[in-house]
Amino acid sequence: MKLLSTGIKGFDMELGGGIPPGSIILLSGTPGTFKSTMAFQIIYNAARKEGHNSLYLLLEQSQTSLLNQMEKMGWGMDEEGKKHIIVADVGRIRAAMEKFSTKDDWMTALKTYVEYLVKERRAKHLVIDSLPVLEILSGDQNKRQFLFSLFEWLRNLGTTTFLISEKSSMDEGYEEEEFLADGVFQLTLTPIGDVDLQRRIRCIKLRGMPHNTSMFALELKEGQFRILPAI
pLDDT tens per residue, the chain (231 residues)? 899 999 999 999 999 999 999 999 999 999 999 999 999 999 999 999 999 999 999 998 899 999 999 999 889 888 878 899 999 998 888 887 677 655 567 888 889 889 999 999 999 999 999 999 999 888 877 889 999 999 999 999 999 999 999 887 766 777 899 999 999 999 999 999 888 999 999 999 999 999 999 999 999 998 899 999 998
pTM (two decimals): 0.95
Annotate the chain with DSSP letters as a single string. Answer: -PPBP-SEETHHHHHTSSB-TT-EEEEEE-TTS-HHHHHHHHHHHHHHHH---EEEEESSS-HHHHHHHHHHHT----HHHHHHEEEEEHHHHHHHHHHTT-TT-HHHHHHHHHHHHHHHHT--EEEEE-HHHHHHHHT-S-HHHHHHHHHHHHHHH-SEEEEEEE-S-TTSPP-HHHHHSSEEEEEEEEEETTTEEEEEEEEEEETTS------EEEEEETTEEEEEE--
Domains located in the chain, CATH noted: 8-229 (3.40.50.300)
